């Protein structure tokens, strides 16, 4: 029976034009990919994401830049594949007088077909990995020296923020404790110590492109540097029970004058018994 198996060694009719078109497509693709990378290295692309959601921390622009770089690279593959897909659908639709061809080749010839796009995909992947790790390293692995430090304590289903008060030191008598309202000065490096009293929570500030889980039993540190004054949402981004969707907090990024006023008001109300929240 073996001699009647369709031999993989017979040269098929459809092979040569396919190989040619693949070669040209991938060469063209390589040129496009390289130019896209160069374009994003030499241009500030972060504005496109900032149109959807403001970018208000020192590293928000870098994260947006990474997102756009990935968008450009995978966008090329996406549209190239979709274009080829629809062209093929149209060109090879069944119709009277059209017959499918039989493609019989060596498997290693098929490997040639796969090899070109394959190496291109790897090249794109490497670019993405390098830039992603770079951004990650800057945001999560290293931090500039702090100008101030706040403690964030999450619990079902509220946030407690412990501000260092006028002496800029945590765990002293002039600490200002608030519920669901975080006050930070603009253009200063803020370190946070994130804790949880009960279950997992997540301190997420979309306008800062910042997110960090709070794990009970641990203190997780992180940092951000706000770049514009204003009031923004803090969300809990890790399900924490039935009140998960109901624990919004508000972030107040304050000018030096506003922040001084906040510290003043806090210093007065902190005299109340029981660590009275200021609002």
Partner 1 sequence: MASHSIPAPGHSEPLGHHDAHHEEHWFLKYCWSVDHKMIAKQYMITGLFMAIIGGFFAYVFRWQLAFPNEPVPLFGVVTPASYNMMITQHGTIMIFYVAMPLLLAAFGNYLIPLMVGADDMVFPRLNRASYQVFLISCIILIWSFFVPGGGFGGAWTSYPPLSASASYNLTPSGSTLWLLAVALEFVAFLMGGINFIVTAMNARAPGMKFEDVPMAVWMIVIASIMFMMSVGPLFAGSVLLLMDQNFGTHFFDPRTGGDPVLWQHLFWFFGHPEVYVVLLPALGFMAEILPVFSRKKLFGYRTLLYSSIGTACLSFFVWAHHQFIAGIDPRMANVFAATTVLISIPIAEMMFVFIATLYGSAIQFTVPMLWALSFLAEFLVGGVTGIFLGASGADIHFHDTYFVLAHFHYTFFPIAIIGSFAGLTYWFPKMFGRHLNEFWGKVHFWITVISFNFIWMPLFFTGIMGDHRRIYSFTNFPDLMTPDRVLLREISSVATAIMGLAQLIFFANFFYSMYRGRKAEANPYNANTLEWQCPSPPPHGNFAEMPTVYRAPYEYSHPDRETDFWPQHEPPAGAGALKPEGAH
Partner 2 sequence: MYDSNPVKRGRLGSSTRVAAALALAGLLGGCHPDQKLSASADRQKQLYAYCMQCHQADGSGSKLAGAPNIGGLDAAYVELQLTKWKDGVRGAHPDDAEGLRMRPMVRTLKGADEFKEVAAYVASLSTVYAAPALYGDQDNGAKLYQASCASCHGAEGLGNVAMGSPRLAGRNDWYIVTQLHKFRSGVRGSDPRDAQGAMMRPMAMALPDEQAIRDVAVYLSQLKPKEM
Q: State which of positions 136-155 bind partner 2 (CB under 8 A).
A: 153, 155
Separation of alpha carbons 82 and 80, rounded Å: 6
Pick out residues in 171-200 that bind partner 2 (CB under 8 A): 177, 179-181, 197
Identify the residue among 182, 190, 240, 263 touching partner 1 (CB under 8 A): 240
Burial class (CB in 10 A: 0-12, 13-18, 19+), 54: middle
- 203 to 232: interface string for partner 1, x by CB under 8 A: -x-xx-xxxxxxxxxx-x-----------x
Distance of alpha carbon 256 from its chain centroid, rounded? 30
* Residues of span 116-175 touching partner 1 by CB under 8 A: 117-118, 121-122, 125, 128-129, 131-137, 139-141, 156
> Least separation, in Å, of the C-beta of 253 and partner 2?
16
CA distances from 159 to 22, 165, 194, 237 (A): 56, 18, 10, 13
Candidates 5-13, 34-42, 166-174, 263-271 — which segment interacts with partner 1 by CB under 8 A?
5-13
Binding status of residue 272 toward partner 2 by CB under 8 A? yes
Dist CA 104 CA 127 (whole Å): 36
Q: Out of 30, 32, 37, 104, name the contact with partner 1 by CB under 8 A.
A: 104
Task: Compute the distance between CA of residue 196 and CA of residue 157 in angstroms, rounded to an integer.
Answer: 11
Joined tokens for residue 263 = 């510290």
Q: Which does 187 bind (CB under 5 to 8 A by kind): partner 2, partner 1, none?
A: none
Measured distance CA(258)–CA(269) in Å, rounded: 17
Q: With CB cut-offs between 5 and 8 Å by kind, which of partner 2, partner 1, none does residue 102 bind?
A: partner 1
Tell me the C-alpha distance between 121 and 113, whole Å.
13
**Given the complex with partner 1, which of 236 and 278 has the nearer CB atom?**
236
> Is there binding between residue 42 and partner 2 (CB under 8 A)?
no
Whose CA is closest to 173, among 266, 279, 278?
A: 266
Joined tokens for residue 61: 């622009």
Judged by CB under 8 A, the residue of 158, 168, 235, 258 near partner 2 is 158
C-alpha closest to that of 175 among 150, 147, 155 = 150
Residues in the site for partner 2, rule: CB under 8 A?
Answer: 153, 155-158, 160, 177, 179-181, 197, 242-243, 246-250, 272-277, 279
């Amino acid at each position: 029976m073996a001699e009647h198996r369709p031999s993989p060694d017979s040269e098929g009719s459809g092979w040569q034009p396919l190989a040619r078109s693949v070669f040209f497509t991938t060469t063209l693709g390589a040129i496009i990919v390289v130019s896209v990378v160069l374009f994003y290295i030499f241009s500030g692309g972060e504005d496109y994401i900032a149109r959807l959601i403001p970018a208000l921390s020192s590293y928000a622009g870098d994260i947006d830049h990474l997102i756009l770089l990935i968008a450009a690279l995978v966008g090329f593959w996406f549209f190239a594949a979709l274009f080829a897909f629809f062209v093929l659908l149209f060109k090879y639709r069944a119709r009277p007088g059209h017959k499918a061809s039989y493609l019989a080749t060596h498997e290693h010839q098929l490997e040639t077909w796969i090899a070109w796009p394959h190496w291109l995909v790897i090249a794109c992947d490497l670019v993405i990995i390098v830039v992603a790790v770079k951004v990650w390293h800057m945001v999560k692995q290293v931090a500039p020296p702090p100008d101030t430090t706040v403690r964030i304590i999450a619990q079902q289903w509220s946030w407690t923020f412990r501000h260092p008060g006028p002496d800029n030191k945590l765990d002293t008598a002039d600490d200002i404790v608030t519920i669901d309202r975080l006050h930070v000065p603009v253009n200063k490096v803020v370190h946070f110590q994130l804790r949880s009293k009960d279950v997992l929570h997540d301190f997420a500030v979309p306008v800062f492109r910042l997110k960090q889980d709070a794990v009970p039993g641990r203190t997780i540190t992180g940092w951000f540097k706000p770049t514009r004054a204003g009031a923004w949402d803090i969300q809990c981004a890790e399900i924490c029970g039935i009140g998960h969707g109901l624990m919004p907090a508000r972030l107040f990024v304050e000018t030096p004058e506003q922040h001084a006023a906040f510290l003043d008001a806090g210093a007065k109300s902190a005299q109340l018994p029981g660590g009275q929240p200021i609002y």
